[in-house]
Chains A and B, each alone.
Chain A
């Protein structure tokens, strides 16, 4: 509704109020998110090192150096590793969390006794910070003291599980711990989705002679689409922000095998005093996120209109 010139005061106020109410939030977001993104883009074209706009020359001054930070960035094998890891990590993390969450939700929805006990057990990891659960995982996965050692003391001496120490597999242990943290949350979202399905449809389908497998595959799971989409947004957001986990569990190692863009960005911006490169990596990351999220948001929001 738009205010008309001939509207009475109450109507005009009522037409204005929603925008007034929304505007502080919008102002905050525009300034603190989009403003800062512009800021970062600008910094990525400077030779900033220890602080923004403080370049090689020392004393607050900087030079605009075009795309040279981006050139440097893509010449670093380190960055390539971070990008590859991100693809592996995000892909597996989102797929496994969704699959596991869905399976647990379906199982938990079978009139399970003790659901009230099991559900919080699945959910609680989301409540914990990785600053320390990372250490617990690190120990558990450590071949000398963790799982491998335990299984070996049980008598299966040829058992090995040393992924966290292996350059080629370490990223999968990060996936494991990340899945541990968020799959319960995804489970809750799917469980809610399942409970929202009209069970008359199920009765009808059962009368049609659908097998249990077909019932889920053809009738129930397709109806969980909104839950899948919400889960996707949340998981994608968590995947991109994964930082503490890597720092606490592997420190980016062995070698640089578990480096992710978030840790890369942090390291160049804050510990290597190459803020320009850090900013350019952030810009690339944002562009990647945008490339994935914008079509998704567009499709989602348009549909609902």
Chain B
């Protein structure tokens, strides 16, 4: 027993030496991008490194939006065999940074000027204690609405600008016998919608106070109750069959004209493109009403595990390749997200992509760029999941709005 515990802790302590199991001139990359488009995009990175004579040992573990990969990562770290680079999100990166398990990339960052081109809100998740510890790949923004243009046109609906417009549009669709909102009843999808609704209802300051600062007053406020009421309205306007549905099946409903809107991150675009739909012609993308100026984001990054005090050549090469404008552009065009640096040319992007880049730059400049609560960029995993519990219980009718607010305050305080 004692030996075992010693092993665990010493494995952590000895990370410095043990991380170098991956052979020289080779990077081992743990990630969960396994579906066609994503993997093809990542292959660009692999090719880039191989052209520099660096091998790529692939370690894909899909599932649960990275949950499985994080589980595997724990096992790998505990066994003293951490991969070179690991795809990670938000607070997970900071947690690992706090372990002292990650490499210091400041040298590369200084050379390439990351501090100037990466938005500050994003840097908050890529740096720990003033040190760059991971390389951001992209920025997904999550407060998008996707709409079927034909359905909207047929019912004389313009792009809604405010919550009231949105309510009117939804009611028009409902009256016309179209499912107004396509939604998949999974906790993270409920929370994605909640993110946007909370931002729209209370504005950026409220969002920051409630989700980022976890201020009890904001969490328990009437504004929060109003946000839950709006969630109830959305719940009333999804089809009966939403529960458990995969997000892409909900997207398919919009594509097929069975539903008018879907609130989903920018990755939904891939589904439209895959179905040969053209942005602007067949489908529309716009910010959730009332959040036109804000961008809630989540960003995929590759954290670099410490390989013995110094950043290895391969790691530096990988980090630099990830942040190179060419890869940022090539990858994000395929992925549907936007580059993590704001100085990349938008020439290769489509209409939605171009708008996304513009929005990001503007939001970053005006201090309207916020980490998405639903995607683990506002608060730590425990809190995020506690909020999930409440949002999802409310969405499924277990709590009324008032109870939900009370539960939310409790849940967040237990989870901290």
Binding site for B on A (CB under 8 A): 35, 38-39, 42, 49-54, 58-60, 72, 75-76, 78, 138, 142-144, 162, 164-165, 167, 170, 247, 249-257, 266-267, 270-274
Given contacts A51-B74, A60-B13, A251-B187, contact A167 B398 (CB under 8 A): yes
When distances are taken between beta carbons in the complex, the residues of chain B under 8 Å from A273 are 92, 95, 380-382
Residue B251 at the A interface, CB < 8 A?
A: no
Residue B324, interface by CB 8 Å? no
From B8, B385, B397, contact of A267 by CB (8 A): B385
**Residue pair B396, A54 in contact (C-beta under 8 Å):** no
Chain B 371-410 residues near chain A, CB threshold 8 A: 380-382, 384-386, 389, 392-393, 395-398
Q: Which of A53, A60, A76, A271 contacts B64 (CB 8 A)?
A: A271
User: What's the Cα separation between A75 and B187 when bound, in Å?
Assistant: 21
Residue of A nearest to B258 (CB): A144
- Cβ–Cβ < 8 Å partners of A266 in chain B: 71
Which B residues are in CB contact (< 8 Å) with A72? 414
B77 touches A51 (CB 8 A): yes
CA–CA, A226 to B329, complex, Å? 66
- Shortest A28–chain B CB gap in Å is 14
- Interface: B5 (CB within 8 A): yes
Name the contact of A58 in the complex, choosing from B71, B98, B245 (C-beta under 8 A). B98
CB distance from B91 to the nearest CB of A (A): 8
Residue interface mask B1-36, A partner, CB < 8 A = 1? 100110011001100000000000000000000000
Interchain CB contact (< 8 A) of A144 among B4, B77, B187, B241: B241
Residues of B in contact with A (beta carbons under 8 Å apart): 1, 4-5, 8-9, 12-13, 64, 67, 70-71, 74, 77-78, 92, 95-96, 98-100, 185-187, 239-245, 380-382, 384-386, 389, 392-393, 395-398, 414-415
- How many contacts A-B (CB < 8 Å)? 116
CB of A255 within 8 A of CB of B395, answer yes
Cβ–Cβ < 8 Å partners of A78 in chain B? 389
Question: Contact: A272 with B396, CB < 8 Å?
Answer: no
Given contacts A58-B99, A256-B389, 15 further A-B contacts (CB under 8 A): A39-B4, A49-B382, A51-B99, A60-B9, A60-B12, A60-B99, A143-B240, A165-B241, A251-B186, A255-B396, A256-B393, A267-B385, A270-B70, A273-B95, A273-B380
CA distance A38 to B70 in the complex (A): 24
Inter-subunit contact A253/B392 (CB<8 Å): yes
Contact A162 to B241, CB < 8 A, known contacts A255-B395, A273-B380: yes
Give chain A nearest CB distance to B70 CB in angstroms: 6
Q: Give the complex CA separation of A272 and B64 in angstroms.
A: 13
A-side contacts of B397, CB under 8 Å: 167
Output the least CB separation between A27 and chain B (Å). Answer: 14
How many Å from the CB of A23 to the closest CB on chain B? 19
Whether B74 contacts A50 by the Cβ 8 Å rule is yes
Q: Are B244 and A138 in contact (CB under 8 A)?
A: yes
7 contacts between A and B (CB under 8 A): A76-B414, A162-B240, A270-B71, A270-B74, A271-B70, A272-B384, A272-B385
**Which residues of B have CB within 8 Å of A54?**
12, 99
B386: nearest residue on chain A (CB-CB)?
A: A272
Contacts A60-B12, A76-B414, A271-B64 known; A253 to B77 CB distance under 8 Å? no
- Contact yes or no, A51 B8, CB < 8 A: yes
The smallest C-beta distance from B29 to any residue of chain A, in angstroms, reads 20
Q: Which residues of A contact B385 (CB under 8 A)?
A: 267, 271-272
Give bound CA distance, A267 to B68, whole Å.
10
> B1 contacts A35, CB within 8 Å?
yes
Nearest A residue to B380, CB-CB: A273
Q: How far is the CA of A72 from the CA of B396 in the complex (A)?
A: 24
Contact A253 B100 (CB under 8 A): no
* Residues on A with beta carbons closer than 8 Å to the beta carbon of B384: 272
Q: Which of B70, B382, B393 contacts A255 (CB 8 A)?
A: B393
State A201–B245 Cα separation when bound (angstroms): 55
Q: Is the CB of B5 within 8 A of A165?
A: no
Q: Can you name the residue of chain B whose Cβ is closest to the Cβ of A58?
A: B98
Q: Of all chain B residues, which has the CB nearest A271? A: B67
Distance in angstroms from B190 CB to nearest chain A CB is: 9
In the bound complex, CA of A42 to CA of B71 (Å): 20
Complex Cα gap A165–B386 (Å):
22
Other-chain contact of B5, A39, A144, A255 (Cβ < 8 Å):
A39
Q: Which residues of the other chain, B, contact A138 by a CB distance below 8 angstroms?
A: 244
A254 and B414 within 8 A (CB): no
Instruction: Determine the residue in chain B with the shortest Cβ distance to A144.
Output: B241
- Please state if B9 and A253 are interface contacts (CB–CB under 8 Å): no
Q: Which of B13, B64, B186 contacts A253 (CB 8 A)?
A: B186
Set of chain A residues within 8 Å of B5, measured between Cβ atoms: 39, 42, 52-53
Q: Are A253 and B12 in contact (CB under 8 A)?
A: no
- Give the docked Cα–Cα distance between A247 and B244 (Å): 11
Q: Report the bound CA distance from A283 to B389 in whole Å.
A: 23
**Which residues of B sit under 8 angstroms from A76, Cβ to Cβ?**
414
Give the CA-CA distance A254 to B386 in the complex, in Å: 16
B415 near A274 with CB under 8 A, answer yes
Tell me, rounded to whole Å, the shortest Cβ–Cβ distance linking B204 to chain A.
27
Which residues from chain B contact A251 at a C-beta distance below 8 Å?
Answer: 186-187, 244
